Amino acid sequence: MEPVVGIGPVSRCTVDAALTVARRTRTPLMLIPSRRQVDAAEFGGGYLGWTTQEFADHVTEHDPDGLLLLCRDHGGPWMHTAEADITEPAEALDSCVRSFAADLDAGFGLLHIDTSEGRPGTGPVPAQTAAARLVELYARCHAEARARGADVAYEIGFEPQDVSTNDPDEFKAALRLVLEGIEAAGAPRPRYVVAQTGTKVAELRNVGRFHEPRARDETLRQVSTLAATCHQEGVRLKAHNCDYLTTEETALLLRAGVDAFNVAPEYGVAETRALLRVLDELALHRAKEDFLRLAYDSGKWRKWMLDPTTATDVERAVIAGHYVFRTEGGLRIREEAAAALAARGRPPLEAVLRDAVAERIESALRAVERAGGQAADRVDGQPVERTAEGTR
């Protein structure tokens, strides 16, 4: 059985929640750290406070049955702040290849190659540039994998997430061009292709076109066409930004042909809200205010804002909460809450927070069940047998 749900490890608690859910339900899951969350030691790791190897070691130690597939999400150039000062594309590509090599050394099983971003401040790169860089990176990653004897699959994306869906004809032509380049490089086809499925996260909700009831039927028709294109090419459709969808909404996407989907910031918000509830219940008002101020002052909420926005300062802090969990101030507040819970004979703080995130992960799994099982069990429109290792 192959995983359908990709879980963005926005915190260490989210990683442990995924481990708990996988173990409890015997369901394979994907853990999909971005480079900002987890990266190689040479890049300073990420905001989870783990290097790539440390992250992999933690998961492996607590996942003896191998239910969690380690996947790199958005592993392209300029996807880590350590590359912010790099101006030359060739240097940025070399840098992210070293990051991918660390993933391979750590035993990652899926690499998402995303070449949509230019250097900071320049916005997305033109589609032709993104496609050319993707093919080059794909070939280089494949060479690194072969040199290590690593069995790894790939996910590709060459455009930033949008509120709408791809134009089916344009998507088909772009995909064909990229696959031809990958084939010419002697590399295998990717397992997943990321398309625009009308799902996009902003602030504390999903603002994609799919989430609009009046546009849903047309969006699902477009998604079905995109999925058919992928399946005709022998690859699978991956949807990103599926946070804040209801169980039924996610099931509709799966029934339309989406093979797998990612959720990330929603889990950080769930943990942040659970922490704030604990601080309220314990009357730790100063600690709550300190946490909200710490999160707000981080400014990490800015990239998630709508324009214009009506978000309050508290909502902005909730959006940014998971970015400051591992800071000195964030750890101090958690320690204070944990001690207060223990003094009252209450369950440990980490268990309370983990359960809050686990509930949201299980909601995603309910969507898969409602859609009729493992949606990824089809290629070329036909069912295939899956194992934890892949396709037979």
Give me the pLDDT at residue 280, please: 98
Place of tokens 């401040």: 121
Give me the pLDDT at residue 378, please: 47
Give, in degrees to the nearest 5, the angle at Cα 91 between 88 and 95: 140
What are the angstrom distances between the C-alpha of 4 and each of 110, 196, 239, 304? 13, 17, 10, 25
> Exposed (0-12), middle (13-18) or buried (19+): which is 218, by Cβ within 10 Å?
middle
Joined together, the tokens standing for residue 132 give 């050319």
Give me the pLDDT at residue 273, please: 98
The per-residue DSSP string of 89-120 comes to HHHHHHHHHHHHHHHHHTT-SEEEEE--B-ST
Give me the pLDDT at residue 380, please: 42
Rounded to 5 degrees, φ, ψ at 202 are: -145, 140
Give me the pLDDT at residue 373, please: 57
Cα–Cα distance measured from residue 213 to residue 206, given in angstroms and rounded to the nearest whole number: 12
State if pTM tops 0.85.
yes
Joined together, the tokens standing for residue 363 give 């909601």
Give me the pLDDT at residue 1, please: 80
Joined together, the tokens standing for residue 126 give 């033109």
Give me the pLDDT at residue 37, please: 98
CATH fold, domain 5-265+361-391, is TIM Barrel (3.20.20)
Question: What are the structural domain ranges in the chain?
Answer: 5-265+361-391, 267-355
Joined together, the tokens standing for residue 317 give 């802090």
Task: Please report, in tens digits, the pLDDT of each residue of the chain (392 residues total).
Answer: 889 999 999 999 999 999 999 999 999 999 999 999 999 999 999 999 999 999 999 999 999 999 999 999 999 999 999 999 999 999 999 999 999 999 999 999 999 999 999 999 899 999 999 999 999 999 999 999 999 999 999 999 988 899 999 999 999 999 999 999 999 999 999 999 999 999 999 999 999 999 899 999 999 999 999 999 999 999 999 999 999 999 999 999 999 999 999 999 999 999 999 999 999 999 999 999 999 999 999 999 999 999 999 999 999 999 999 999 999 999 999 999 999 999 999 999 999 999 999 999 999 999 999 998 544 444 444 433 333 333 32
